[in-house]
Structure 1
Amino acid sequence: MMIETYRGVVYPYQLDHMGHMNVQWYTEKFDEANWHLFSRAGLSAAYFREHKKGMAAVQQTTKYHAEALAGDLLQCRSGVMDIHEKTLFILHEMYNSETQKLIATTELICAHLDRETRHACPFPPTVRDTAKLLLIKPD
Structure 2
Amino acid sequence: MDQEATYRGTVYPWQCDHVGHMNIMWYVGKFDEANWNLFARLGLTPSYLRSSGRGMAAVQQNISYKRELLAGDIVEIRSHLLEIRDKSIRFRHDMTNAETGEMAAICEIIGVHMDRELRKSAPFADAIRQTALRYLTEPAEA
Structure 1-normalised TM-score?
A: 0.97
- Counterpart position of 1:12: 13
Q: Residues 42-82 of structure 1, C-alpha deviation per residue, up to 9 Å, x if partnerless?
A: 00001001101000000000000000000000000001100
Offset at residue 4 of structure 1 (A): 1.1
Instruction: Check 1:123–1:62 CA distance in 2 against 1; reply closer, same or farther (3 A cut).
Output: same
Instruction: Check 1:71–1:91 CA distance in 2 against 1; reply closer, same or farther (3 A cut).
Output: same
- Please tell me whether the aligned partners of residues 79 and 94 of structure 2 are also in contact (alpha carbons under 8 angstroms): yes
Aligned to 2:26, the other structure's residue is in SS state helix
Offset at residue 137 of structure 1 (A): 4.0
2:36 paired with 1:35: yes
- Counterpart position of 1:53: 54
Structure 1 ranges of 4+ moved more than 2 A: none
Q: Percent identity?
A: 49
2:72 paired with 1:71: yes
Matches within 5 A, 1:1-139: 1-2=1-2, 3-137=4-138
Offset at residue 138 of structure 1 (A): 5.2
Aligned to 1:133, the other structure's residue is in SS state helix
What CA distance in whole angstroms lies between the structure 2 residues aligned with 1:93 and 1:138? 10
Offset at residue 135 of structure 1 (A): 1.1
Unpaired runs of 5+ residues, structure 2, are none
- Please tell me whether the aligned partners of residues 82 and 136 of structure 2 are also in contact (alpha carbons under 8 angstroms): yes
What CA distance in whole angstroms lies between the structure 2 residues aligned with 1:89 and 1:137? 11
Q: Write the letter of the residue equivalent to 2:132.
A: A
Offset at residue 37 of structure 1 (A): 0.2
Structure 2-normalised TM-score?
A: 0.95
Offset at residue 109 of structure 1 (A): 0.2
Unpaired runs of 5+ residues, structure 1, are none
User: RMSD of aligned C-alpha atoms?
Assistant: 1.0
What CA distance in whole angstroms lies between the structure 1 residues aligned with 2:47 and 2:78? 23
